[in-house]
Homo-oligomer: A and B are copies of this chain.
Amino acid sequence: MLIVHALAEVYGCQAIIEDAAKLVEAAKTAAAAVGARTVGEFQVKYEPQGLTIAVFLAESHIIITTWPEYQLALIDVLMCNSEMDYNQVVRQIREQISPDGHLVMHTVPRNIAASP
């Protein structure tokens, strides 16, 4: 089974990327919209600025790491249910943090099997 690990850089982010609770909410809402189920969350605040928030799913995880000094957020989405639309998850989070900013997306196929 091939699943896709989606890694996005989102530029031109708004102040929401300094608000851990709102980022967690954005990730959970985006996950729910594709049918994923949140089973845990975690957040790290860096000094003097920057956050990592993680939302753990029954289907793996969403992580957002922010660099407010660059108005930059990295969004990582790994969902082991290939019917769930990772593009929709990234798009929906992006709408909350940088509706007009530039997005660079990397998609890495990961081979879930007993051998390569």
Taken together, the copies of this chain in the complex come to: 2
Is A58 positioned at the interface, with any CB of B under 8 Å from its CB?
Answer: yes
Residue from the list B39, B63, B110 in contact with A44, Cβ < 8 A? B39
Query: What chain B residues lie within 8 Å of A80 (beta carbons)?
Result: 65
Interface SS, A side: strand
Query: What chain B residues lie within 8 Å of A76 (beta carbons)?
Result: 5, 76, 78
Chain A residue total in the interface (Cβ 8 A) = 37
CB 8 Å contact bits of A63-93 with B (1 = contact, 0 = none): 1010100111010101010000000000000
A:14-64 near B, CB below 8 Å: 39-40, 42, 44, 46, 52, 54, 56, 58, 60-61, 63
* 21 chain-A/chain-B pairs, Cβ below 8 angstroms: A5-B7, A7-B110, A9-B111, A11-B113, A11-B114, A42-B42, A42-B56, A46-B58, A52-B60, A52-B61, A61-B65, A63-B63, A65-B78, A65-B80, A70-B112, A70-B114, A74-B78, A76-B76, A104-B111, A104-B116, A108-B108
